[in-house]
Amino acid sequence: MTVGAPGPETPYDVIIPLYNGGQTIDVVLDGLKRQIRPPARVIVVDDGSGDGAVERLRASGSCEIFRNPNKGANAARQFGLSQSTAPYVALLDQDDAPCPWHFDYLAAVLDADETCPAALSNEYEGAVREPKQAPSRRPITVPMDPWGGFPFFSRNPSALLIRRSALDEIGGWSSEYPGIADLYTILRLSERRPIAAVIGRSWWVVPRKDSYSTVLRRNNPSKYFDVRTRATEAAVAQRMIYHPDNRAFLEQRLGLQAALGRVLMVLEAEKDQTALRGAALALEDSLEPEPINIRRQACRNLFWYLAPLFDDPEWAPNLVHCLVDAWPNEAVWSKNYFRLAVAKRMRMIELLRYVALRPAWFGRWHLFAAGLAMHGRDWARSMAP
C-alpha cells in the first residue's frame, strides 16, 4: 500500500544496502540530509556488517536500520523494498553520495509524467568529489531507451529514482543476478517505453578501497560475465513480448556478447594462442556490422571485466601479452582498441619495463608510444586551470 498518489511533491524512500561500509556511509547519509527535496524515509539494510557502522548509525538516529544478514546486496534491496511505502523509491549504494539537488531533479521528472517508469542522472563516469555548487539552471530531460545500446548500456543503481508501481510490474528488484541486477532492472523497466534521463551531474562516488564489482571481477571474471549473459537473455525474452520486431537486432547483439564471453574464457584459462586467435577473429567478425560506438562499448565492456587482474602480478604479464603481442593483426579494430586500453591502464614505468624485455618487438614500442601520448594528455589536462 503506497502513501499518497503520484503528483507534485510525491514522497520517495531511499534504500541503502550496507555491508562493512563504515568508510563511506556517513558521507552518503550527509548527502541525504541536505536534499532540497528530502526523502520520506531512509532505510538501511544491514547484510551482516562487522565494522561498527551499524552501531554508529543506530546511535545517530539518522536512518531506519533493518537486518537481513548474509544474503547479498540485491536481497538487501529487495528486503528494503518490502519495508518501503512511498510511490517513488531510490536504491543508493553505500558509497554513492547524492548532491543536494539529485532527488529534486529526478522526482520532478516522475511528477510531470505519470507514464515514465524511472528517471536517472546521466552523469555516470564516477566523479570522486562532490560538485561545489548546483548548476545555474535546471537540467535538460530527454527520453532514454537503454535497448538502443543493448547489452552494453550501463548505469549505477544510485543514478535511479523508480516509480514503485513500475517496479512492482516487473516483480521488484531481482536477487538472481549478483552484480548485474541494475542492468537487468533498467532493461525490464524500459521494455515497453523509454525511461527519462536528466542530463547533469547530481551524484558522486565516495572514494573506497574496493567495490563489490571489483571483487567479483578479480575472483572470477568469466563467471561474473556469465551472470551478465543470463540476465540479458532473460530481459530479452520479456522485451520480445512487447517488441517482437526487435528479434534480429537483439539476437545479433547477444551474438556479440557471446563472442566477448569466449575471449574472456580463453584469457582467464590461459589457453594456447590458437584458441586466442580463433576467439579474437570471431569477436572481430561480430564487431564488423556494428556502429563505432557499439564496437567501442563492447571492447570497453570486455576490458572492464579484466581490469582488476592488471593489479595482480601473476595475471598482468599474461594479459598484456595476449592483448598486445598475441592478438592477431587481422583483428584490426579490436587490436587497436586493446593496445590503447592497455597503454592507458599501465603506468609509464611498467611500459618501459615491458619494452625492455623485448626491445626488438615493434608492437611493444607502439604500445609505449600510445601510453606516452595518453599519459601526457592526462597530465596536461590536470595542469590546466
Distance CA 11, CA 175 (A): 25
The answer, yes or no, to whether residue 179 has pLDDT greater than 70, is yes
Mean pLDDT of 109-138: 81
Give tens-digit pLDDT for 289-327. 999 999 999 999 999 999 999 888 888 888 888 998 899
Q: What's the mean pLDDT in 259-270?
A: 91
Mean pLDDT in residue range 67-82: 92
Residue 123: pLDDT band (50, 70, 90) is low
Rounded Cα distance, 18 and 72, in Å: 9
> How is residue 85 written as a grid cell?
511505502
Q: Are 348 and 372 in contact (CB under 8 A)?
A: yes
- Could you tell me if 203 and 161 are in contact, meaning their C-beta atoms sit under 8 angstroms apart? no
pLDDT band of residue 96 (cuts 50, 70, 90) is: very high
Please compute the mean of the pLDDT values over residues 222-246 and round it to a whole number. Answer: 96
What is the three-state SS of the chain?
Answer: CCCCCCCCCCCEEEEEEECCCCCCHHHHHHHHHCCCCCCCEEEEEECCCCCCHHHHHHHHCCCEEEECCCCCHHHHHHHHHHHCCCCEEEECCCCEEECCCHHHHHHHHHHHCCCCCEEEECCCCCCCCCCCCCCCCCCEEEEECHHHHCCCCCCCHHHEEEEHHHHHHCCCCCCCCCCCHHHHHHHHHCCCCCEEEEECCCEEECCCCCCHHHHHHHHCHHHHHHHHHHHHHHHHHHHHHHCHHHHHHHHHHHHHHHHHHHHHHHHHHCCCHHHHHHHHHHHHHHHCCCCHHHHHHHHHHHHHHHHHHHHCCCCHHHHHHHHHHCCCCCCHHHHHHHHHHHHHHCCHHHHHHHHHHCCCCHHHHHHHHHHHHHHHHHHHHHHCC
Reading the block at residue 38, the C-alpha cell is 528530502
The mean pLDDT of 5-9, rounded to a whole number, is: 57
Cα–Cα nearest to 177, from 205, 146, 212: 212
- More confident of the two residues 132 and 7: 132
- What gap in Å lies between CA 367 and CA 164, rounded to an integer? 49
Residue 131 preceded by cis peptide, ω within 30: no
Residue with cell 578501497: 209
Q: Mean pLDDT over residues 36-45, rounded?
A: 96
Residue with cell 537483439: 250
Phi-psi region of 61 (alpha: psi -120 to 50; beta: other; left: phi over 0): left
Query: 18 has which bridge partners?
Result: 46
pLDDT at 154: 83
**pLDDT average, residue stretch 274-298:** 96
The whole-angstrom separation of Cα 246 and Cα 147 is 10
Is the pLDDT at 1 greater than 50, yes or no? no
What pLDDT sits at residue 334?
A: 97
In this structure, are residues 193 and 142 in contact, taking their beta carbons and an 8 Å threshold?
Answer: no
Express as a percent the part of the chain with pLDDT over 70.
Answer: 95
Mean of the per-residue pLDDT values of the chain: 90
Q: Based on the number of CB atoms within 10 Å of its own CB, is 25 exposed (0-12), middle (13-18) or buried (19 or more)?
A: buried
pLDDT at 146: 94
Q: What is the mean pLDDT of residues 236-254?
A: 97
- Percent of the chain predicted with pLDDT > 90: 66
- Asked if the model's pLDDT at residue 200 lies above 60, the reply is yes
The pLDDT assigned to 2 comes to: 39
Residues 212-221: tens digit of each pLDDT: 788 889 889 9
Between the alpha carbon of residue 127 and those of residues 86, 91, 98, 276, the distances in Å are 29, 18, 11, 36
**pLDDT average, residue stretch 266-282:** 88
CA distances from 211 to 17, 67, 95 (A): 13, 21, 9
Range 203-209 average pLDDT? 83
- Most confident residue range from 22-26, 119-123, 354-358: 22-26
Whether the CB-CB separation of 145 and 189 falls below 8 Å is answered with no
Instruction: Please state, in angstroms and rounded to a whole number, the distance separating the CA atoms of residues 91 and 80.
Output: 9
pLDDT at 4: 42
How far, in Å, CA of 169 to CA of 118, rounded?
13
